[in-house]
């Protein structure tokens, strides 16, 4: 199985180097199955291009800098994964939805609380798609904690090939990611590289530095690589510190991360619904491990 950490390509020691090496990977890094019946496959090279384009958008259009806080709707989708990776690429801090309003003292007893008074420079909302119970990104913008106080809001369309988000689904004054991303270059133009002790992730329970996060991901990646697992199913409803560590671990092992968001009821049915649909997906993608 191809591996990011093969002898000819030393294992990256941080997320920036991982992305640099992913750019040379022609094999699938992410496969996403949506509740709309869609399937999106991104090779390592294409994924890194998306991350670079997104990082360029965040810097060139929004002026984000290392240390800025990006509140991300934790909905499981390949686009939210790309935005999170892009934020880390430029050295920003990802705040998963819920962390901005976490009660003081919540978490695992670490000295620093996840709660922060740092302003949120950007809030990112994943539109749930037409089949989901929540009707639009516009409605989510009114209920997701931290969005109203963010300096900027950006919305992501759900369909894999979406070129824009329908105006009625776009929050007032928000940036349409799918419409804006196309004009940005697919080579990262910045020079920032976050340090190991810089904070990369805030959740309602944890404050993680790049070193701590990457160390946990690398340990999991060793397990995946040792068992020569070609594809890993991330069986999660939303992004969390654990699911993101597993995503990065899968990439470190040179494996494919299979993401499934099949929770919404679709009025016209589809080819991958329910337990049978999940089973068919795992078989088709030759999944050797399902992390839940």
* In the predicted structure, residue 276 carries a pLDDT above the cut 90: no
Cα of 72 vs its chain's centroid, Å: 9
Both structure tokens of 54: 């997104």
CA distance 228 to 118: 42
Q: Tell me the CA distances in angstroms from 241 to 31, 207, 209, 261, one per residue in order.
A: 20, 9, 11, 18
pLDDT tens-digit series, residues 114-143: 456 689 999 999 999 987 766 799 999 999
CB 154 within 8 A of CB 175: yes
pLDDT tens-digit series, residues 159-185: 999 999 999 999 999 999 999 999 999
Fold classification of 15-279 is: Rossmann fold (3.40.50)
Question: What is the pTM for the complete model shown?
Answer: 0.89
Rounded to 5°, angle at Cα 251 from 246 and 86: 90
pLDDT of amino acid 5: 47
CB 86 within 8 A of CB 184: no
Cα of 14 vs its chain's centroid, Å: 17
């Amino acid at each position: 199985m191809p591996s990011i950490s093969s002898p000819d390509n030393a294992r990256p020691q941080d997320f920036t180097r991982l992305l640099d090496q992913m750019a040379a990977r022609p094999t699938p890094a992410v496969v996403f199955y949506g509740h709309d019946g869609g399937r999106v496959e991104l090779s390592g090279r294409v994924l890194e291009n998306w991350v670079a384009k997104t990082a360029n958008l965040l810097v060139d259009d929004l002026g984000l800098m290392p240390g800025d806080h990006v509140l991300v709707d934790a909905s499981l989708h390949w686009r939210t994964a790309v935005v999170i990776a892009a934020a880390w690429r430029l050295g920003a801090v990802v705040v998963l939805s819920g962390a901005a309003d976490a009660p003081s003292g919540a978490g695992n007893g670490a000295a620093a609380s996840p709660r922060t008074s740092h302003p949120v420079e950007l809030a990112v909302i994943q539109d749930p798609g037409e089949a989901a119970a929540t009707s639009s990104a516009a409605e989510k913008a009114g209920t997701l904690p931290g969005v109203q106080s963010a300096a900027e809001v950006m919305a992501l369309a759900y369909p894999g090939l979406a070129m824009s988000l329908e105006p009625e689904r776009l929050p007032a004054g928000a940036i349409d990611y799918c419409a804006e991303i196309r004009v940005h270059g697919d080579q990262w133009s910045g020079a920032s590289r976050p340090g190991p002790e810089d904070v990369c992730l805030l959740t309602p329970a944890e404050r993680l530095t790049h070193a701590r996060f990457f160390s946990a991901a690398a340990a999991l990646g060793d397990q995946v690589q040792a068992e020569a697992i070609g594809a890993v199913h991330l069986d999660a409803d939303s992004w969390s510190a654990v699911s993101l560590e597993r995503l990065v671990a899968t990439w470190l092992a040179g494996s494919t991360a299979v993401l499934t968001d099949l929770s919404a009821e679709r009025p016209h049915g589809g080819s991958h619904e329910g337990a049978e649909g999940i089973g068919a997906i795992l078989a088709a993608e030759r999944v050797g491990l399902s992390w839940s």
